[in-house]
Amino acid sequence: MTEPPAWVSVGGGANLSRDPRRRAFLSRSDPSVLGLHGFAGATFLIAVNLAGWGGTAFSDALLLVPGIVVFGGLAQLPAVLLPRHYRGMAINVVHGLLCALFLGYGLIYLLTAVHVISDVDVPVVLRWWFGLLTLASSAAAVAIHRYGSFLALVLIVFASGGAVTTVGLAAGIPGWRTASACLYIGSAVLGWLRATAIMLMITSGRVP
């Protein structure tokens, strides 16, 4: 009989892979946990940036970008590149999407810092970026709901923030920055709760 893969082993000597109902869910360190924590951190920093809580100057926003790129972009890579052993390729696609979106956000500010994009063009570029974020996150939420309604909720709130930001940048509606920041923070908190719940359940040997 073929030995079960190593990733299903849980501390304390228990090997939960012998239960076929659990084989599809358990891992000692699921890459989605890191991806969701990275998503939470990056989304919170975007909220801080939009609301101006970290300063309103371009240089203040630029200070937040490395954190957004590392949290939202690089932290997603393990969830994208490592073999998916539960919940299928849809999860890989979602993390790959988030990775691209956050790296794109950082690239916009990098191009502005080296004067490829002028400061006055940033709102226009960001309007398109947040519009893409809204469409992509909404599609991902629809695709992923069968694998986890809570994760779909995270993406729906995230997409709602993108929609408010897109409309606010396009129409200049008063108060859009605070409204979108609150939605992004809500999405970040939900993502953090989901990641923490998975992490605690895995370490305790229970199915998330």
Distance of CA 94 to the CA centre of its chain: 8
Supply the pLDDT for residue 57: 66
Average pLDDT over residues 13-32: 49
Pick the CATH number of 28-203 from 1.25.40, 3.30.1910, 1.10.3470, 3.30.70: 1.25.40
Q: What are 150's two structure tokens?
A: 């809570």
Q: What is the CA radius of gyration of the chain?
A: 19
Looking at the DSSP bridge assignments, the partners of residue 9 are 15
Q: Where are the domains of the chain?
A: 28-203
Please tell me whether residue 86 adopts helix, strand or coil conformation. Answer: coil
Least confident of 7-11, 12-16, 97-101, 123-127: 7-11
HSE at residue 36, side-chain half, CA atoms within 13 A, is 23
- As a whole-number percent, the residues of the chain with pLDDT over 70 amount to 78
Q: What are 161's two structure tokens?
A: 């923030």
This prediction has a pTM of: 0.78
HSE at residue 4, side-chain half, CA atoms within 13 A, is 17
33-92 pLDDT, tens digit per residue, is 888 999 999 999 999 988 888 776 667 778 888 888 998 888 888 877 775 555 567 777
Q: Which of 70, 77, 78, 61 is nearest to 41 (CA)?
A: 70
DSSP letter for 54, please.
T
Backbone region of residue 175 per phi and psi (left: phi > 0; alpha: psi in -120 to 50; beta: other values) = left
pLDDT higher at 62 or 153: 153
112-137 pLDDT, tens digit per residue, is 888 888 877 788 888 898 998 899 89
> Is pLDDT above 70 for 10?
no
Q: What is the mean pLDDT of the chain?
A: 79
Supply the pLDDT for residue 23: 45
> Is pLDDT above 90 for 97?
no
| Tokens 């719940």, residue located | 197
Average pLDDT over residues 142-171: 88
